[in-house]
Amino acid sequence: MATPRVLVLRAPGSNCDEEAAFAFRAAGAEADRLHLGAVRRNPRRLRDYQVLVVPGGFSYGDDIAAGKALAVQLQHFLADALRQFRDDEKLVLGVCNGFQALLKAGLLVPPDEDGPLATLGLNDSGRYGDRWVDLEATPGQCPFLTGVDRMHVPVAHGEGKFVARKEWILRGLAQSGQVVLRYADGGRPTGRPYNPNGSQGDVAGLCDATGRVLGLMPHPERHVLPTQHPQWTRLGLKPEGDGLKLFRNAVEFFQK
């Protein structure tokens, strides 16, 4: 396939859908923005796309909990279509609020008989945080992160603290290769302010067991152009922003 097609799934309150579409177009894909209601009415529309993106924002105002209302919609109306999408060896990306929705919908870490194995809760600071962070990648079998060692990208959230129900669950996710992104300070495990929310194990991003569904709290779509970095005039203009490779990897996955 020469040019993959990307569906950016909007919901009331989403505010990073334009940036996500731009990032994929910059990486060589075709990208459409569709409202959740349109896909709910006709889930077969997913068949026209190779990548699904659930972007950042404040879906449904985050009135219940961040991403929870969107997660319920995904669970109850699109669960079968999303599983088929993944099983067809297509890719799913959830960023920030989208990560919250994918995790709470059980699309990254399925629940067991006792409920969710992990969630994303309030930042340790108790407030919304907006800063640039360093990420250390362990790509494993995640196509989005092929060849990525580190990324410098912004975060912007109030509920981004990764919490596993039990310590053994976090260890199991790491051992199975699902913990693919961690907050880092010069490549070392870190705490605040480098870990901006207090996430257990410095977890910044997870993939599912197949590697084809990725969720992360930081915003790679906000560092696609080198001029998006606030210090580009001091540090020098790079050829591209750190986040662009993630989107290019997704495009190249379907061009091989």
Q: Which residues are catalytic?
A: 96, 219, 221
**Contact (CB, 8 A) for 46 and 38:** no
- What is the rounded distance in angstroms from the CA atom of residue 244 to the CA atom of residue 78? 29
Helices 68-77 and 79-87 cross at an angle (nearest 10°) of 80
Tokens standing for 149? 């060692």
The full DSSP string for 26-91 is HTT-EEEEEEHHHHHH-GGGGGG-SEEEE--B-GGGGSSSTTHHHHHHHHHHSHHHHHHHHHTT-E
Q: What is the CA 148 to chain-centroid distance, rounded?
A: 15
Tokens standing for 23? 């990032």
**Contact (CB, 8 A) for 61 and 13:** yes
User: Which secondary structure element, helix H or strand E, spans residue 24, and what is its range?
Assistant: helix 17-26
- What is the rounded distance in angstroms from the CA atom of residue 85 to the CA atom of residue 79? 10
- Tell me which DSSP letter residue 115 carries: B
